[in-house]
Amino acid sequence: MELRPLGASGIRVTAVSLGTMTFGSQTSEHEAHTQIDLALDHGINLLDAAEMYPVPPSAETQGATESIIGTWLAKDRGRRQRVLLATKAVGRGASPWFRNGNAKLDRANLLAALDDSLERLGTDHVDLYQLHWPDRKNNRFGELDYKHADDPDETPIEATLDGLAELLASGKVRAIGLSNETPWGVARFLQLAEARNLPRVVSIQNPYSLLNRSFEIGLAEFAIREQVGLLAYAPVGAGTLSGKYLDGTVPAGSRRAVDPRKSRYATPRADAAVRAYHEVAKRFGLDPLHMSLAFVRQRPFVTTALLGATTLAQLKHALLALDLILSDEVLQALDAVHRDNPNPCP
């Protein structure tokens, strides 16, 4: 599989990576291990986790995803050299079971969060350490209509960067990245890194799919010009582009069936867009899910598409798209649908 640079870190990641947020909830330890084996057999070299996983989040399961990856690594010492590990630290607004309800992206919290993650993973370092969401108040997870409010309790970005610099210097982290971040946030991280000779972020993990192309508006240029490549999560709209949720259907065992939180992809305009994309797939003889994943993988600002699956069968089906290249004709047809149905699931 194609290898792409992770910013200027010197690390190279595969164009598709394995997301793991169901490990420990919908996906058992045994099946999770089987998924990792299958992904690596297909050339994937990056596992993406988070201290918050699995989802939906709970005090009882928090950290289980990292622990399951850790038990997979523990089966063979050579496995750590075969795989890149990425994980994330939560910021303010996290559930109260994180660090006695005082989770922040300051030095003390970052050091504590990373050490806990390393213990669960059973390793002495992670290849990419990401901030799961900003510590300041901003729009994320589908929120619109930004309303600014100064917040004296937010952690200044320079303080966060100081903490991350210490983690890099310790050798416990090879590279740092952002997640659920805005253009202003990326610009500020880069500005402070340059002005204060602090480490640069090398990636941003944000949603990107045929149903949500908002990354293109303000962040794609940063990704290319500043080498802050996109780790695209939900590249098939959390399963929505498969069509399984059309007309309000909620299949048993699906994410929407087990997660009480409203899906950002369950919007009034989603069904029309999904149907239009399915028509394109039908016209060109493509599987809708494969087409959707290939679209994300081919974008010039995408470093890797994070592919997640609840079951091994779902992962096997999705992996059939690894070599699919969409023609210019298909891409033009997808753009036409987007013009008629712009970002139905922000």
Residues belonging to the active site: 53
Q: Which pair of tokens denotes residue 169? A: 């210097």
Distance of CA 95 to the CA centre of its chain: 19
SS3 of 132, please?
Answer: coil
User: For 119, phi and psi rounded to 5 degrees?
Assistant: -65, -45
Could you give the C-alpha distances from 163 to 84, 111, 113, 148, 169, in angstroms and in order? 22, 8, 12, 26, 10
DSSP string, 156-209: PHHHHHHHHHHHHHHTSBS-EEEES--HHHHHHHHHHHHHHT-PPP-EEEEE-B
With 0-12 CB in 10 A as exposed, 13-18 as middle and 19+ as buried, what is 101?
Answer: exposed
SS3 of 20, please?
Answer: coil
DSSP string, 218-265: HTHHHHHHTT-EEEEE-TTTTTGGGTTTGGG---TTSHHHH--SPPTT
Determine the Cα–Cα distance for residues 61 and 221; give it in Å rounded to an integer.
38
Determine the Cα–Cα distance for residues 157 and 185; give it in Å rounded to an integer.
9
